[in-house]
Structure 1
């Protein structure tokens, strides 16, 4: 049975603004509700490898292997810096502009998935978050981890969709000014750079 404590904890974690939220907001503002939903799908799917790693105990290996951790970490840093660049260049995929350029849903989702896949801290995070809410039975531990993970993913998707739809709704109000659009793009770029810096400073 899913405890109220787990639901509250998971909701607090999901609501807290992070890279996935920033990406979903950028897609909602830049390309509307359809793009925001695809971004939410991608960010949610990107959680799966980390949940599997935590369930199988691979997160512990990642946590103890500085070399492996740093390889994944700096790949994530490079990708976040690439996303920052994409918000600033005139034809960038993440650039917020008045004229919509609808991208293929799979491309939007793939970027969202990579954002989470290339964050090694997620595996360690799930390894720390989920076990306290298990029953303690070794026989059902895997099923319980999978169940808690599925609930966490469902909450992630729902909250990210709400974030994205809110951004899409605000699109018409915010994109009437070239100045506002310029500041939005600079702000998103700065956020991605800041998140890349924070990830670069993470330790195993």
Structure 2
């Protein structure tokens, strides 16, 4: 395991993106449990990209403009939906123990979709992992699985830290409804901005 791989992976994961914003939003809106579950969902959302990289399916997105555009605009549509859902969620937030927790399956599904519908993540796996794997060696598939596993563990750790930190200040934020309203708008605006950035992305 090279230091270059670990450093680059940490930079890629820690840079705020759709997954990080979703985890922060879950932590602030629904508490520590929801943030951890959201983290698991976002981490699981990298599995299809890993499979695509290992099987060569990522090459299709890299070479086929139609396939790339299809996945890209599905991602844009889902990010816009997340922005709308964030703004729509105007129920007053009270202490976590006084409210029924959100269904884990629903939180995980949203996290999976956020990372699944991100063609740039597939391109990342396709372009980044091969630099650290000699495809001519017999065990190159296991090596890619190993590196992908490290990427997922880093994602899990970093996103969990984001979510738990957000949940730790939740009581201070929820005691100020106007602040929570502005945070909702901020998260919704972030989803819209990320959707616009993805819409303009080239292969």
For structure 1, list consecutive stretches of 5 or more residues without a partner in the other structure: none
1:175 pairs with 2:170: no
Task: Using the TM superposition, give the Cα deviation of residue 58 of structure 1 relative to its aligned residue in structure 2, in angstroms.
Answer: 1.0
Partner of 1:108: 107
CA distance in 2, matches of 1:142, 1:123: 17
Match for residue 48 of structure 2?
49
Cα pair 1:29 1:96 within 8 Å, conserved: no
**Aligned-residue offset at 1:59:** 0.7
Instruction: Give, in angstroms, the shift of residue 186 of structure 1.
Output: 0.5
Structure 1 position 19 matched with structure 2 position 18 = yes
- How many residue pairs match? The answer is 199
CA shift at 1:33, angstroms?
Answer: 0.5
Distance 1:30 1:11 in 2: 26
Q: CA–CA distance in 2 between the matches of 1:14 and 1:62?
A: 21
> Structure 1, residues 94-151: CA drift from partner, whole Å, max 9, x if none?
x684235521111101000000111111111111111111245431211111110001
Measure the CA separation in 2 of the matches of 1:55 and 1:142: 7
Q: Distance in 1 between matches of 2:48 and 2:91?
A: 30
Query: Do the aligned partners of 1:63 and 1:124 also contact (CA within 8 Å) in 2?
Result: yes
What is the TM-score normalised by the length of structure 2? 0.94
CA RMSD, 1 decimal: 1.4
Segment of structure 1 superposing worse, 21-30 or 8-17 = 8-17
Q: TM-score, normalised by structure 1?
A: 0.93
After the TM superposition, which residues 1-204 of structure 1 pair with which residues of structure 2 at under 5 Å, given as runs? 2-89=1-88, 92=89, 97-99=92-94, 100=96, 101=99, 102-135=101-134, 137-204=136-203
User: In 2 relative to 1, CA 75–64 (structure 1 residues): closer, same or farther, beyond 3 Å?
Assistant: same
Name structure 2 gaps, 5 residues minimum. none
Q: Distance in 1 between matches of 2:192 and 2:32?
A: 25
Deviations 1:129-174 (A, max 9, x none): 1111124543121111111000100110011111000000010111
Which stretch shows the higher mean deviation, 167-176 or 189-198? 167-176
